[in-house]
Amino acid sequence: MIKPNPTTRFSISALLSGAVFAATALLSVAPAIASSHSDAPLSKLDVQTNLTDVYAFITQKGNGPKLLAVEVSVRPFSEPGDGVMYDAFSSDAVYTIHLANPVTGEEVERYEFKFSPVDVLNGSYKNTGTILRYGLGTELGPIVTVGDARQNFTQTYSVTKIKPGKSVVLNNSPLLVAPPNVGMNTTPSYNGPDGRAVSGATNRATLDPYTLQTLYDLPSGYTAFAGPREDGFYADTPAIFDLLDGRILDNDGDPNDGLGQDGGGVDGFKGYNVLHYAITIPLNKFPSFTYTGALQPESQGIGVYASVSRPRMTVRSNTEADSSRGPNIQTNRLANPLFNEVLVALADKDNYNRSAPTADAANFATYALNPEIAVLINTVFGTDFQTDNRVDLQAVYIPDVIRVNTTTGPVPLAGDENFNRLSFIGGDTVANGNGDQIPSGWPNGRRFGDDVVDIALTAVASGPTFETITVVGDNVESNDQIYNRTFPYAGTPNAGPRNSKDSGINIGLPTPTPAAPLALR
């Protein structure tokens, strides 16, 4: 836990290189409310296509080539115990990962994930004469192998790489979606003896069997995964939205341990799951671009964002399955945390979700230049943060893509000794191809565990000149589950009957020893 003296002011330049000082200035964004769990009126009504978080960072598998890992979460506040159906991906939606020019936002290629139907007329069920979606297919009992006789409903998907003039399906046969964590009696291999999900795998061999069985090495060096995961975002959203309830600041009255670093906040996302789709891409499979600006010195890298689309028309029938028709219409998109949810006004939130990053400069730059959230903070706390002409915010958010420097080595991951949740503010930096120290985490990509709430609050408290830093947070300093340190990096999905909501505990501390994979029978 970082507990600086808030009365002690220190120079950023003494902490970091000039490049990282510039990155701090760019992070002078108002408090992170939630990454993107409730970003727009229409997306709130269509939860299966509502994106929550995009993670993108450089990693490596053993001594192999460097990879770009991109993991995307969708369907916020998925209840682990939501039987009898449990959540699944929408079969008429296209879940997409885009690689883009980091300067213009123009797409250079994309990866489309498409899922099989969920209705009972398509052959995805072994037994339609039961109420049970899991645990009773052609026989009764716990699921041992994904898709076995006990798993009644099985969803599959395909991954298609699309670039100008070329479209290639990466998988040779349908890929299995991991099952939900129903509980010890149905999906025991997700859980420990106490019935709670076991996470924190340090390598592929220590992943639970269901995740391992649905992890696919595809031709040309790609690896894909899709299925439920634990929601890796953490923040005291309930207190933040209550006009910044005092519990997110200083709870113990000691002025020497900083603001929002006492650990008394409540993670509003603990115990929930999300749906998750992810891919690792060899760096030699896509181009890199030169980008300059305050974020980093002249750099080479790629932009990343996610979107979900649905067909223009859905026809419902009282005698047969619904059918979808017409071209796909984008319903949601997401890159950097906070932009649409915290900066864009209600009038344009749904417009943002319908558009592409290439339109951001013309349509949404005003929200970065004139952030209303800074006005709200000034009103509540009597501060005097700059509320207009924020060209620093314009530079980081327009176009809204996550910029990943592809010249670095693999970045530290949550659980590594040199990982810090505050990224460069906590001294967690990595050398780029020129030897400059740049952030290991957000805003250079985004890793699981990056505390985007505290990074943003600290930037607000330290701005707008950023000659000094004061650490400020929301009193939530960790996720309620341990992340994996191998792909997929998102944690094991919470179990329906036993998760952190039912006890209030933070099962992410201390790190448990992952259970050995069960032998497949």
pLDDT tens per residue, range 292-302: 764 577 889 99
Q: Which domain holds residue 212?
A: 10-118+155-469
What does the alpha-carbon distance between residue 339 and residue 352 come to, in Å, rounded to a whole number?
10
pLDDT tens per residue, range 386-434: 788 877 778 778 999 999 999 999 999 999 999 999 998 889 999 999 9
pTM for the predicted model, two decimal places: 0.89
How does residue 503 score in pLDDT terms, banded at 50, 70 and 90? low
Range 109-127 average pLDDT: 93
Range 118-129 average pLDDT: 90
* Model confidence at 283: pLDDT above 80: yes
Give pLDDT, residue 293: 60
Give pLDDT, residue 195: 95
* Model confidence at 200: pLDDT above 90: yes
Give pLDDT, residue 452: 87
pLDDT tens per residue, range 168-177: 999 999 999 9
Q: Quick check: is 324 in a domain?
A: yes
What does the alpha-carbon distance between residue 280 and residue 58 come to, in Å, rounded to a whole number?
9
What does the alpha-carbon distance between residue 180 and residue 190 come to, in Å, rounded to a whole number?
9
Give pLDDT, residue 9: 31
Give pLDDT, residue 460: 62
Q: Quick check: is 509 in a domain?
A: no
Give pLDDT, residue 31: 38
The values of phi and psi at residue 477, to 5°, are: -110, 0
Give pLDDT, residue 521: 22
Q: How many domains does the chain have?
A: 1
Range 133-149 average pLDDT: 96
Q: Quick check: is 239 in a domain?
A: yes
Give pLDDT, residue 256: 67
pLDDT tens per residue, range 248-264: 776 676 766 667 788 88
Give pLDDT, residue 255: 63
Q: Quick check: is 508 in a domain?
A: no
Closest by CA to 444, choosing from 478, 409, 477, is: 409
Give pLDDT, residue 264: 83
Give pLDDT, residue 63: 86
* DSSP code of residue 125: B
More confident of the two residues 383 and 45: 45
Non-local (6+) Cβ contacts of 42 within 8 A are 331, 350, 353
Give pLDDT, residue 298: 82
Q: Quick check: is 186 in a domain?
A: yes
Largest CA distance in the chain: 70
Range 260-286 average pLDDT: 93
- Provide, rounded to the nearest whole percent, the portion of the chain with pLDDT above 70: 86
What does the alpha-carbon distance between residue 516 and residue 435 come to, in Å, rounded to a whole number?
40
The torsion of the CA quartet 226, 228, 230, 234, rounded to 10 degrees, works out to 80
Closest by CA to 483, choosing from 161, 78, 207, is: 207
Q: Quick check: is 416 in a domain?
A: yes
Q: Quick check: is 146 in a domain?
A: no
- Strand (E) positions, 40-188? 51-60, 66-78, 94-100, 107-115, 156-163, 166-169, 175-176
Phi/psi zone of residue 199: left (φ > 0), alpha (ψ -120 to 50 degrees), beta?
beta
Q: Quick check: is 272 in a domain?
A: yes
* Pick from 149-153, 233-237, 280-284, 382-386: least confident: 382-386
Range 207-234 average pLDDT: 97
Range 126-153 average pLDDT: 96
Range 497-505 average pLDDT: 77
237 contacts 33 by C-beta, under 8 angstroms: yes
Mean pLDDT estimate for the chain? 85
Give pLDDT, residue 162: 98
The amino acid present at 262, given as its one-letter code, is D
pLDDT tens per residue, range 307-319: 999 999 989 888 8
Identify the top-confidence range among 151-160, 432-441, 457-466, 502-511: 151-160
- Provide, rounded to the nearest whole percent, the portion of the chain with pLDDT above 90: 63
